[in-house]
């Protein structure tokens, strides 16, 4: 271990986050003695059912929603698919979907399948983003048609942290009688959300991005919005999602939402200060580095930085030797390094997109860790550039 305190420096929280100790404590009884089925008639199961109800209230409260509007699912991906497919089945005569070019694969792949697997029965409009990752509202307005069944636009981008104006976009869809879904997996717990006041029909969130375990998510369905389930089976979740509830993880997610609500303003302010210090430190100390994404309309925890003329994967390997965890903007698919679709959509130059690193912080990061990363990165980049045929520094 090479860090000051001998621990891993984890700055990859948009990929997944540490389960909070308070959350582990809350879920433990449901992995041990309280193993009843919440649907059972006996008191033993009934107690478990009441724990699920409490968790539902806690999630609802963080979102400014009603408990009946919360449906537990297995993950963010399931919630995304469920919302979009429900809309298409609710309005079978409508064949158009609007989304963006920078969605998470959960929405991106589904939309691709809507075109290819169905033999182009559906038409998908993917809204462009500018160099800061922001949408053009006039392009959006023009895309809304009578044939549009649903708009699915992420609240905050997982790679850059850029925040979209979903409140306004949902209102514009509503005015035209079009359903609106937002993938808020990265937004929940990081920015204030009050669904009561908004025209959002469906919202997806995921437990493991907000200090609950992997394998649990939520689909918010606004009261009055027509809904057709994806998973049918038993009567769980008010008939909206069959399958015996993942009780321990649901309880965990409830506790995680409660913690996020209690600590949101204070902790996100602190995380933002750390993120800003990291960002400024890296941009000022590493030549030819640049921030990807809007400077202010951005999550408090995310900094996506390009180091020109170096490979993201190589940077990550060197960071790994110092026990620093982050992500790169390129995914190694079938042996070829493809720069991320998000950075490509933003028009980030090839030489910069390849060397992009996403740092995503959490409440568990410390100033000492930020200082450590700012100290280590310049030498890592310099050593890699010395080997690059493109670097003429
Ligand atoms: C992680 C993530 C998802 C997928 O959530 P899972 O629970 O892992 O399925 C969807 N959208 C965004 C923006 C994400 O960051």
Question: Does ligand 1 come within 6 angstroms of the Cβ of 152?
Answer: no
For 179, the token pair is 């359903």
pLDDT of residue 6: 66
On the 0-12 / 13-18 / 19+ scale of CB atoms within 10 A, 109 is: middle
Structure tokens of 391? 């670097």
Report the alpha-carbon distance of residue 363 to residue 377 in Å, rounded.
22
Catalytic pick among 75, 257, 325, 332: 332
Architecture of domain 34-262: 3-Layer(aba) Sandwich (3.40)
163 lines ligand 1 (CB under 6 A): no
Q: Report the run of H or E that residue 150 belongs to, with start and end.
A: strand 148-152
Rounded to an integer, what distance in angstroms lies between the CA atom of residue 44 and that of residue 65? Answer: 29
CATH number of 9-19+264-386: 3.90.1150.10
> What is the full DSSP assignment across 260-314?
HHHHHHHHHHHHHHHHHHHHHHHHHHSTTEEEES-SSSB-TTEEEEEETTS-HHH
Contact between residue 302 and residue 14 where contact means Cβ atoms under 8 Å apart: yes
In the annotation, is 325 catalytic? no
Nearest Cα neighbor of 384 from 304, 302, 288 is 288
Residue 200 Cα to ligand 1 midpoint, Å, equals 19
Q: What is the per-residue DSSP string for 329-345? A: SEEEETTEEEEPHHHHH
Q: What is the mean pLDDT for each group of 10 consecutive residues in the chain (393 residues)?
A: 69 98 98 96 95 98 98 98 98 98 97 92 97 98 98 98 98 98 98 97 98 98 98 95 98 98 90 98 98 98 96 95 90 64 95 95 97 98 89 71
Separation in Å, CA 179 to CA 111, 188, 290: 16, 20, 37
The model carries a pTM of: 0.96
How far, in Å, from the CA of 259 to the mean position of ligand 1? 20
What does the domain layout of the chain look like in residue ranges?
Answer: 9-19+264-386, 34-262
Those residues whose C-beta lies under 8 Å from the C-beta of residue 139, and which sit 6 or more positions away, are 127, 128
Which pLDDT does position 333 carry in this prediction? 47
Distance CA 196, CA 124 (A): 29
């Amino acid at each position: 271990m090479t860090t000051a305190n001998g621990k891993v420096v984890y700055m990859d929280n948009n990929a997944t986050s540490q389960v909070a100790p308070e959350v582990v404590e809350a879920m433990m009884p449901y992995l041990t003695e309280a193993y009843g089925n919440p649907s059972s008639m006996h008191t033993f199961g009934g107690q478990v059912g009441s724990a699920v109800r409490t968790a539902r209230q806690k999630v609802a409260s963080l979102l400014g929603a009603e408990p009946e509007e919360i449906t537990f699912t297995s993950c963010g991906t399931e919630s995304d698919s469920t919302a979009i497919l429900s809309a298409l089945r609710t309005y079978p005569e409508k064949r158009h979907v609007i989304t963006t070019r920078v969605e998470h694969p959960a929405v991106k792949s589904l939309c691709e399948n809507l075109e290819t697997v169905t033999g182009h029965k559906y038409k998908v409009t993917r809204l462009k983003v500018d160099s800061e990752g922001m949408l053009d509202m006039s392009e959006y307005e023009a895309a809304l048609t009578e044939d549009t069944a649903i708009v699915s636009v992420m609240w905050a981008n997982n790679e850059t942290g850029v925040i979209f104006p979903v409140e306004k976009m949902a209102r514009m869809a509503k005015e035209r009688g079009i359903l609106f879904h937002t993938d808020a997996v990265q937004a929940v717990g990081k920015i204030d959300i009050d669904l009561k006041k908004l025209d959002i029909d469906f919202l997806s969130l995921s437990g493991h991005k907000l200090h609950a375990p992997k394998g649990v998510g939520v689909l918010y369905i606004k009261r009055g919005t027509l809904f057709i389930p994806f998973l049918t089976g038993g009567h769980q979740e008010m008939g909206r999602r069959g399958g015996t509830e993942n009780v321990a993880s649901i309880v965990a997610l409830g506790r995680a939402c409660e913690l996020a609500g209690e600590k949101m303003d204070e902790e996100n302010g602190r995380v933002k200060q750390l993120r800003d210090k990291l960002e400024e430190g890296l941009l000022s100390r590493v030549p030819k580095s640049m921030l990807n994404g809007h400077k202010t309309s951005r999550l408090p925890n995310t900094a996506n930085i390009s180091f020109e003329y170096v490979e993201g994967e190589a940077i990550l390997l060197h960071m790994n030797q110092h026990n620093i965890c982050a992500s790169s903007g390129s995914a190694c698919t079938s042996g070829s390094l493809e720069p991320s679709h998000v950075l490509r959509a933003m028009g980030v130059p090839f030489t910069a997109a390849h060397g992009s690193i996403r740092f995503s912080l959490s409440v568990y990061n410390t100033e000492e860790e930020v200082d450590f990363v700012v100290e280590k990165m310049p030498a890592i980049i310099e050593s890699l550039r010395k080997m690059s045929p493109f670097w003429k520094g």
